[in-house]
Amino acid sequence: MSKERIVILGAGFGGFTLAKKLSKSDFDVTLIDRHNFHQFQPLFYQVAMAGLEPSSIVFPLRKAFQNAENITIRVSEIEGIDTEKKHVKTENETIPYDHLVIATGAVTNYFNNDKFRENTFSLKTVSEALAIRNDIFDDLEQALTTKDYNNRQSLIDIAIVGGGPTGVELAGALAELKEYILPKDYKELDAGEVDIYLIQGGPRLLIGMSDEAGDNALKFLEDLNVKVMLNTRVVDIDNGMIKTKDGQSIVAKKVIWAAGITCEELDGVPQQCIGGRNQVKINDQLEVLGLQDVYAIGDAAFLTSKEMEHGHPQVAQVAIQMAKFLAKKFKKKSVSHFVYKDKGSMATIGRNKAVADLPWVNTSGFMAWVLWLLVHLASLIGFKNKLFVLINWMWNYLTYDQSLRLIIKPAKKKSS
C-alpha cells in the first residue's frame, strides 16, 4: 500500500464524522461497524413510540461513502486489537493499520446486575427501539381480552428507570400516546388505567443540566400525569415486579432501562489505559495514553481537564468535535490541543414542551421545543431523512396522531 491506512472502529457520531472528513484525503480509511448504517440515537425514542419510521433516522454507510474511493466499509464484529503488530481482528478478517481510532461508543450500564439486563428493555439501537414498539402494542392487544384487573395492569403499565434525557423524553412521549392515541385506537380499554412511572435514583431529573431545567421537566411530566419517583433506587426486577430500596413495589411487565451508560471492553487495550465508565484514557491530542498511533474519540474516550475533572460528557457534540479535531491533526493542519465547546443541552417532554440550557440563555416551553426540533432536524444525515422526519412531525402536530403503530416481527422459519 502506498498510502497510510487509518482504521476507525465504530460508525457512530464520532467515527462517521471522522470518515466523512477524511474522505477523498491522502489516507486509505477503513470504517468498521457491526451495522451497515449510521444511527441517529437522539431520536430512537420516537421510533419506540411509533412517531418515526426506523428508516428515517438511519443512513446506509455504503451510500454515504459511495463517491469516496479511499473509504472501505467493513460490517463485522470487532474481536480485538494488537497494538504491537498494529492490526485489528474482526470476526471475518485481520486488518492492518498505521493509525487506529477507537470510536466504539457506549452501551447500556446494568451495573453488573443480570436481572436488570434480562428483565428490561434497552434503547441503544434502532432494533431495540423497534422491540419496545412491538412489545407496547402487542401488550395493548392482549390487554383488550384480559379480564383480570391486575394482569391487565401488568400489560399496560410501563416503567422507565433513569431520569436523564432518554428517560424524560420517553416518559413524555408515552404520556402523549396515552392521551391522544389510546382513546382512539383502543376504545375498549380505559386509558385512565395506564400508569407511566419514571424512577430516578437522584433528587431531581436531568442531572447533567441546570436545576431550572430539571424542575421544569418535572413540572411538565407531572402535568402529563407521569408518576415521577425521585430519590428512588431500584434494587430488583423480576417477573413483572419492580422493587425499590425504600420498600415500594411496582407491577409493570415493561421496564425500559435508561439509568446510565458504560463502554464495552476492547480486547488488546491494556488495563492501565481504562478509566471513567470503562472508557479509554486519552490526552488532549486524543492519543490513547501509553499506546502509539492509537486514538479514541466520543463516548469511548476519557479525557479530563481543569474544567472537566470527571471527563467530558458522553454526548454527540463531544464526539463530533473530537472527530473534526482529529481529522485536522491527520491532515497536518494547525491544531494545538482539543478544547470542547459546549453548545448546550436540550430535552423534549412532548408537544410544545422542552427544556434547553444554551450558552447564552436557559429556556423552556414552546421556544425550547422549537429549538429542539430545528437542531435535531438539521443534524440528521440525508435530505430524504430530513424531509420524512419533518413530514411526520408536521402530521403528528396537526392531527395529534401517529401513523406508524405497526407490530412488525421477524417471520419464523418453517422447520424442514
**With 80 as the cut, is the pLDDT of residue 414 above it?**
no
Domain membership of residue 375 (yes or no) is no
Q: Which of 228, 260, 292 delimits the end of a domain?
A: 260
For residue 409, the model assigns a pLDDT of 78
| Residue finishing a domain among 260, 275, 295 | 260
Regarding whether 163 and 77 lie in a shared domain, the answer is no
Is the per-residue pLDDT at 78 higher than 90?
yes
Q: Is residue 155 scored above 90 in pLDDT? A: yes
Of all residues in the chain, the percent with pLDDT exceeding 70 is 98
Identify residue 72 by its one-letter amino acid code: T
Residues 120 and 253 occupy one common structural domain: yes
| 327-344 mean pLDDT | 92
Beta carbons within 8 Å of 157's beta carbon, 6+ residues apart = 194, 195, 196, 197, 250, 251, 252, 253, 254
Helices (H) and strands (E) counted in the chain, each on its own, are: 12, 25
The three three-digit cell numbers of residue 410, written as one number: 421477524
The string of pLDDT tens digits covering residues 244-265 is 999 999 999 999 999 999 999 9
Q: Which of 77, 128, 169, 188 is catalytic?
A: 169
CA dist 187 and 371 (Å) reads 35
Same domain, 272 and 244: no
Strand partners, 237: 242
Helix (H, G, I), strand (E, B) or coil at 332: coil
Q: Pairing relation of β-strands 345-348 and 301-302? A: unpaired
Which of 72, 71, 78 lies closest to 93, judged by CA?
78
User: What residues are paired with 99 via a beta bridge?
Assistant: 6
Q: How many CA atoms lie within 13 A of 239 on its CB side?
A: 0
- Cα separation, 294 vs 268, in Å, equals 12
Strand spans (E) along 34-180: 37-39, 58-60, 71-75, 78-82, 87-90, 94-96, 99-102, 107-108, 158-161
Determine the pLDDT at residue 9: 98
Name the strand (E) or helix (H) holding 261. Answer: strand 261-262
- E strand or H helix that includes residue 154: helix 149-156
Joined together, the cell numbers standing for residue 143 give 390487554
Cβ–Cβ < 8 Å for 356, 345:
yes
User: Per the structure, how many domains does the chain have?
Assistant: 2
Examine the pLDDT at 152 and tell me if it is beyond 80. yes
Confidence of residue 307 (pLDDT cuts 50, 70, 90): confident
Residues 256, 122 share a domain: yes
Distance CA 214, CA 207 (A): 7
- Is there a domain that residue 94 lies in? yes
388 found inside a domain: no
Query: 345 CB contacts (<8 Å, ≥6 apart)?
Result: 165, 208, 209, 213, 315, 356, 357
DSSP label of 319:
H
Are residues 189 and 152 located together in one domain of the fold?
Answer: yes
Task: Indicate if the pLDDT at residue 2 is higher than 80.
Answer: no
Which conformational region is residue 358 in: left (phi greater than 0), alpha (psi within -120 to 50 degrees), or beta?
beta
Cβ atoms of 107 and 261 within 8 Å: the answer is: yes
Does residue 226 sit in the same domain as residue 118?
yes
- pLDDT class of 96 with cuts at 50, 70, 90: very high
The grid coordinates of residue 37 equal: 448504517
Q: Is residue 366 part of a domain?
A: no
Q: Summarize pLDDT for 180-238 with one digit per residue, the tens.
A: 999 999 999 999 999 999 999 999 999 989 999 999 999 999 999 999 999 999 999 99
Mean per-residue pLDDT over the chain, rounded: 94
Distance CA 14, CA 105 (A): 8
- Residue type for 133, please? R
Neighbours of 267 (CB within 10 A): 11
Q: Is 79 a catalytic residue?
A: no
Q: Are 297 and 328 in contact (CB under 8 A)?
A: no
Same domain, 98 and 139: no
In a domain, 34, yes or no: yes
The CATH number linked to 267 is 3.50.50.60
In a domain, 335, yes or no: no
Q: Is residue 69 part of a domain?
A: yes
- pLDDT value, residue 294: 98
Same domain, 253 and 167: yes
Please report whether residue 381 resides in a domain: no
Q: What is the pLDDT of residues 266-295, one digit of tens each?
A: 999 999 999 988 999 999 999 999 999 999
Same domain as 121, residue 65: no
Pairing of strands 78-82, 87-90: antiparallel
Q: Is the pLDDT of residue 415 over 70?
A: no
Judge if 235 and 119 occupy the same domain: yes
Note the pTM of the prediction, 2 decimals.
Answer: 0.94
Q: Which of 346, 371, 368, 372 is nearest to 168 (CA)?
A: 346
Q: CATH no. for residue 176?
A: 3.50.50.100
Residue 352 has what pLDDT?
95
Per-residue pLDDT at 416 exceeds 70: no
Q: What backbone phi and psi angles, to 5 degrees, belong to 60?
A: -60, 130
- Compute the average pLDDT of residues 323-348: 93
- Shared domain for 160 and 71, answered yes or no, is no
Q: What is the pLDDT of residue 239?
A: 87
Which residues form the domain of 84? 5-106+263-330
CA separation (Å) from 196 to 57, 324, 354, 360?
Answer: 26, 41, 19, 34
CA end-to-end span of the chain: 48
CB 29 within 8 A of CB 8: yes
Half-sphere exposure of 247 (CA within 13 A, CB side): 0
pLDDT for 225: 96
In the listed set 209, 233, 260, which residue is the last one of a domain according to the structure?
A: 260
Q: What are the cell numbers at 212?
A: 431550572
Predicted confidence band of residue 74 (pLDDT cuts 50, 70, 90): very high
SS3 at position 69: coil
* Res. 306: pLDDT tops 90: no
pLDDT at 400: 84
Give the DSSP letter string of 365-407: SHHHHHHHHHHHHHHSSSHHHHHHHHHHHHHHHHHS--S----
- DSSP structure string for 193-232: G--EEEE-SSSSS-TTS-HHHHHHHHHHHHHTT-EEE-S-
Contact 77, 273 (CB under 8 A): no
Residue 221: per-residue pLDDT: 97
Does residue 253 sit in the same domain as residue 300?
no
